[in-house]
């Protein structure tokens, strides 16, 4: 018999966060989160997303043991402002038992019906900066800190419970040696002259901060046309600055501004912390922090986390300016492999940007939906 219990106490939420550590203890490819950070993500007093969203967390028990978990999420900006009557769910993990996954999904579906929502979709997080999608291919590749890993059997459970594909995502990678400067070197000089643009040279985190709010504003503008988009509010900007900027080498953040110092393009790249996080095993202390700092300084692999161009400058080659800046930085640091975060497979514009680097898809993932 499966029992579903809502995780409301600190003890229960910690059990919610720690369940995947047991489920994936023998996996070479799963990348554990930092437990403290996960708990802060779910803390209504610390994560400002709860100003515009709500979430409930549930654990599944069988014979007294935790065998699954799920987060039921409603983003009210999405529901009320955009009119998208979606019941979200994420952080969905379970043993290979159809009764377990069904009980957890039923819990989410019932909440959606109570709120008069039209359908469920997941796995997704609170916003576009959260993890997304269940893996359907690429199980023998090491994950990243900004994606979910899952066992191959997960997708079979969605099928069994009447879920259909809502969105398809892919993750690409390419060796840095594929980057040929002739594709952008001359072009970026012409583009800078034509549109009176310049790239900012940043070497300290404090130099990034004055532009960080503008970066999130530009993120909202440049991604608003995507089907999965929910805007980042002003209060969320402060939270994301504290959460992410400290993880990023300042030289890995590129800003392009016009003659009036208005931001027209940006990109954020992160060192690939996967191996360091595996060594940390969920804890920053006593040694986890040192593993992460070492990776931040020495990692030869990087992840393109975000890239955005102002709508007025899209299709004008501004990405060539950004690529030129990264080429010089990566060449100096001896970067070997470049990875990209999950991108919608129908985002043809982003595919055009990367085509000259001969990227290869190594992971595919999906979000699934069910009408309520």
Q: Which domains does the chain have, with CATH numbers?
A: 2-171 (3.40.630.30), 175-361 (3.40.630.30)
Bridge-based pairing state of the strands 301-309 and 337-340? parallel
Q: Which of 164, 194, 219 is nearest to 369 (CA)?
A: 164
Look at residue 227 in the predicted model and tell me its pLDDT: 61
* Sign of the four-CA dihedral 145, 151, 157, 158: positive
Look at residue 244 in the predicted model and tell me its pLDDT: 74
pTM, to two decimals: 0.92
Residues of the chain with pLDDT under 70: 225-228, 246
Look at residue 228 in the predicted model and tell me its pLDDT: 61
Let me know if 371 is exposed, middle or buried by CB neighbors in 10 A (0-12, 13-18, 19+). Answer: exposed
Look at residue 226 in the predicted model and tell me its pLDDT: 66
Look at residue 38 in the predicted model and tell me its pLDDT: 94
Q: Which residues contact 40 (CB under 8 A, 6 or more apart)?
A: 46, 47
């Amino acid at each position: 018999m499966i029992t579903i219990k809502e995780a409301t106490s600190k003890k229960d939420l910690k059990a919610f966060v720690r369940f995947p550590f047991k489920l994936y203890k023998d996996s070479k490819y799963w990348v554990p989160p930092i437990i403290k950070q996960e708990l802060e993500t779910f803390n209504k007093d610390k994560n400002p997303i709860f100003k515009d969203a709500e979430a409930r967390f549930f654990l599944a028990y069988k014979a007294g043991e935790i065998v699954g978990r799920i987060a039921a999420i409603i983003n009210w900006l999405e529901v009320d402002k955009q009119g998208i009557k979606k019941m979200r769910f994420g952080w969905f993990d379970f043993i290979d038992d159809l009764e377990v996954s069904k009980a957890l999904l039923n819990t989410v579906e019932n909440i959606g019906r109570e709120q008069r929502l039209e359908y469920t979709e997941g796995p997704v997080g609170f916003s576009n900066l959260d993890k997304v999608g269940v893996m359907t291919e690429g199980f023998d590749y090491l994950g990243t800190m900004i994606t979910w890993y899952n066992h191959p059997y997960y997708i079979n459970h969605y099928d069994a419970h009447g879920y259909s594909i809502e969105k398809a995502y892919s993750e690409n990678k390419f060796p840095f040696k594929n980057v040929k400067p002739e594709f952008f070197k001359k072009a970026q000089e012409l583009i800078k002259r034509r549109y009176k643009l310049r790239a900012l040279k940043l070497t300290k985190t404090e130099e990034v901060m004055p532009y960080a709010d503008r970066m999130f504003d530009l993120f909202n503008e440049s991604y608003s046309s995507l089907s999965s988009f929910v805007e980042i509010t002003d209060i969320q900007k402060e939270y994301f600055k504290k959460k992410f900027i400290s993880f990023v080498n300042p030289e890995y953040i590129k800003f392009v501004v016009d003659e009036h110092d208005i931001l027209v393009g940006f990109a954020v790249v992160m060192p690939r912390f996967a191996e360091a996080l595996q060594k940390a095993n969920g804890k920053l202390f006593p040694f986890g922090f040192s593993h992460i700092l070492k990776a931040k300084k020495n990692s030869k692999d990087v992840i393109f986390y975000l890239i955005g161009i102002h709508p007025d400058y899209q299709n004008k080659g501004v990405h060539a300016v950004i690529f030129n800046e990264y080429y010089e930085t990566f060449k100096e640091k001896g970067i070997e492999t470049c990875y990209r975060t999950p991108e919608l497979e129908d985002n043809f514009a982003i595919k055009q940007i990367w085509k000259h680097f001969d990227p290869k898809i190594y992971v595919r993932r999906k979000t699934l939906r069910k009408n309520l």
